[in-house]
Structure 1
Amino acid sequence: MAARGESRTNLAQIDALTEEALERAIAEDPDWRDVPRDWHRSAEAAMPRPKVPVSIRLDADLVDFFRRQGRGWQTKVNAVLRAYANARQGGKSG
């Protein structure tokens, strides 16, 4: 969709939000619940890297934990592994 310039985002609805409604929506968003307020201080823009299909054996309860989070669970596993690798490399972005 992005390559065609299409989006499912309703920009008119977003533009119509008051500042207070927008702040409330952000505060109630479960995806932001554990994000530190100053997360942006260490954020870096990065182009997505191509993914490599792999076969990996993981504990069933670990896979269940991520799958329960719904769509995009494999992306979250990738993000956890990326954070670990960055920490081990002294904060390098990969």
Structure 2
Amino acid sequence: MTGKNTKRANLSDLRKMKERGETQPSFTAEPAPDLPKGFWDDAALVNHTKTKEPISLRVDSDVLEYFKAQGKGHLTRMNAVLRSYVDAQRSKTSDEAADHN
């Protein structure tokens, strides 16, 4: 999508424009709010050490269409569903092991 104010330039042109002071942001960002003390104390890293493996996976076409219909990020959502299942199964297995002890 291009508007009437959109111009094309290569990286070299952009650097020269910046040196001449010809580039300006198209918006003014609000300053970041001051966070209360301890704001990050309960923060936890998510997927900090997990790596993702590229795979080829066959799924039913209606399943794929369902996730795609929800918009961008359908593969991430599919992974989240699988993650939820794995976590539930692991929890179930550990609960059963604890019951036997």
TM-score of the superposition, structure 1-length normalised?
0.49
Larger helix proportion, structure 1 or 2? Answer: 1
Query: Whose Rg is larger?
Result: 2
